[in-house]
């Protein structure tokens, strides 16, 4: 069976001498593994469209266990990201996140569109990277079915509290009366909660010029990191660690 679909290359590993094994997030058939036969041969017409970050139109043949790439027409390679090590690292983090939350064969058009739009925004000059990444993280969890509970206490539904903590285990805010529910919950300020709600509600295009203080960004980053790691069963994301060192 042949399938024609657009997709983003999440990962590319060399397979045998001249082939590549790709992980692709496609619009029509979700996340798949596919073989690009002969991709490393000097005159291969597949090479440009199968690099990580590449957005391409694929013609795929579905085999018993893997797809094979029959044709590949590159639409965007996001070259500016490859020229900026910091942007490249953050873009790699986005790919890691998507690969971690999407199961094989699962489609998710909202996440597919979010990934594409975010990569296009990141390649622009003078964008505010931190709010873009925080917005992507919280929207990714929402589109994956793990929307964090940010209005009132997730345990008792109390809307008022002298202070709040965020529990990754419980999936949202805990009021001061429920702090004992999760000893690993992270304290979070009201302004950080409001920022999270804002990023969740706003279109990613509206966030690219938003300026966020280092303190607020770091607090939200720590909360979201614990939340994402909890639900993806990951220990860390190497590309994020690299980006934060730059």
Residue 50 structural domain: 2-76
Please give the mean pLDDT across all residues of the chain.
94
For 46, the 3-state DSSP assignment is: coil
My answer on whether 19 and 127 are in the same domain is no
pLDDT digits (tens, 9 = 90+) for 3-26: 999 999 999 998 888 889 999 999
Q: Is the dihedral of CA 213, 198, 240, 219 positive or negative?
A: positive
In a domain, 186, yes or no: yes
Q: Confirm if 207 and 138 have CB atoms less than 8 A apart.
A: no
Gyration radius from the chain CA atoms: 20
Domain boundary among 23, 45, 76: 76
Domain boundary among 13, 48, 76: 76
My answer on whether 30 and 92 are in the same domain is no
Domain boundary among 76, 96, 120: 76
18: domain CATH number? Answer: 2.40.50.140
My answer on whether 43 and 114 are in the same domain is no
The four Cα atoms 142, 145, 151, 155 give a dihedral, to 10 degrees, of -150
My answer on whether 142 and 205 are in the same domain is yes
My answer on whether 121 and 174 are in the same domain is yes
pLDDT digits (tens, 9 = 90+) for 195-246: 999 999 999 999 999 999 999 999 999 999 999 999 998 878 889 888 888 7
My answer on whether 14 and 124 are in the same domain is no
DSSP 8-state symbol, 54: -
Domains contained in the chain, number: 2
pTM of the model: 0.94
């Amino acid at each position: 069976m042949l399938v024609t679909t657009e997709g983003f290359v999440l990962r590319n590993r060399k397979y045998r001498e001249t082939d590549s094994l790709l992980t692709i997030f496609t619009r029509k058939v979700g996340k798949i593994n596919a073989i690009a036969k002969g991709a490393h041969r000097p005159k291969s017409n597949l090479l440009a469209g199968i690099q990580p970050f590449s957005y391409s139109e694929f013609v795929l043949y579905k085999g018993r266990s893997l797809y094979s790439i029959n044709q590949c027409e590159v639409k965007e390679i996001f070259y500016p990201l490859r020229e900026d090590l910091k942007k490249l690292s953050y873009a790699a983090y986005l790919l890691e996140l998507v690969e971690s939350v999407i199961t094989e064969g699962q489609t998710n058009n909202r996440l597919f569109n979010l990934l594409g739009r975010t990569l296009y925004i990141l390649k622009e000059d003078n964008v505010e990277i931190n709010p873009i990444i925080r917005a992507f993280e919280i929207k990714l969890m929402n589109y994956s079915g793990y929307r964090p509970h940010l209005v009132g206490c997730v345990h008792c539904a109390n809307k008022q509290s002298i202070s709040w903590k965020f529990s990754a285990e419980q999936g949202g805010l805990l009021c001061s009366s429920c702090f004992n529910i999760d000893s690993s919950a992270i304290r979070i300020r009201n302004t950080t909660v409001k920022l999270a709600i804002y990023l969740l509600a706003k279109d990613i295009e509206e966030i690219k010029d938003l300026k966020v203080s280092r303190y607020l960004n770091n607090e939200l980053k720590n909360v979201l990191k614990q939340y994402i790691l909890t639900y993806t069963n990951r220990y860390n994301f190497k590309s994020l660690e690299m980006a934060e060192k730059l």
